[in-house]
Amino acid sequence: MRSIKRRNSPFEILLRGMKMVLIQANAKLNLSFKILGRRPDGYHEIESIFQSVNLSDFLLFEKAKNNYFSGGIICPDSDNLILKAKNHLEKVLGKKLTCHIHLQKVIPIAAGFGGGSADAAATLLALNLLYNLGLAKKELAKIGKSIGADVPFFFYGGTCKVGGIGEKITPIKKRLPKLFVLFRPHKRIGTKKMYELHDKTGKDFPALAQEICPDIKNIERYLADFKIEAKLSGSGPTIFCGLD
């Protein structure tokens, strides 16, 4: 269990110099989430409200003659969204952006927080600053969409209505609790797997998450005893509630 607060920004630039950028990349919660249908290209149309929160990864980028990645190495390079973001930006620009990247991983993976997408967006932002590329937020969001459907949100942050496959971002005003309390079962649930199960069964993410991770039901029952509504963030398994 952990308590967190909302944030109005997806990033905090902690250090910016000619040769180095340090970024705090904030996670998100899905205050609401609905799958509207599957598109011919295989992606899913969604309707959701995303909220930035102060559960954060920290990424340090430093100009260098060679590329090097260190820190929270949690997956093969081929699945690393940080490296995917860097490689894709280089492809779009047609030039190399060599640097050392160090990741301090705090956001749990496969937990419904969008940590990988936050890191990918932070990478695009950091390289834009480090190499003075002059790319606008909309341009970075467009590039980010090619890396992951959730990535565009992390160039806006705060409270946003999210549509399409995740690329339609509309900042909104919404009354929010003072803090959120998170309950994260020790189970990883991949978003891709959840969409596949949804297509196969027609069940929504909360129902599927309960089947994959029975601890979710126990948490919901516990909170219900105190008349507190529990919600699933993204594809889960994280359950959260708001407290005033």
59 and 126 in contact (C-beta within 8 Å)? yes
How far, in Å, CA of 51 to CA of 63, rounded?
32
Vertex 20: Cα angle to 17 and 25 (nearest 5): 105
Mark residue 138 as left, alpha or beta (left: phi above 0; alpha: psi -120 to 50; beta: remaining): alpha
Find the catalytic residue in 5, 19, 28, 161. 28
Write the burial class of residue 31 (CB in 10 Å: 0-12 exposed, 13-18 middle, 19+ buried).
buried
Is residue 145 annotated as part of the catalytic site, yes or no? no
Is residue 150 annotated as part of the catalytic site, yes or no? yes
Find the catalytic residue in 79, 119, 150, 227. 150
The DSSP secondary structure of 108-153, one letter per residue, reads: PTTSSS-HHHHHHHHHHHHHHHHTT----HHHHHHHHHTT-TTGGG
Specify which residues 239 forms β-bridges with: 183, 232
How far, in Å, CA of 136 to CA of 160, rounded?
19
**Active site members:** 28, 150
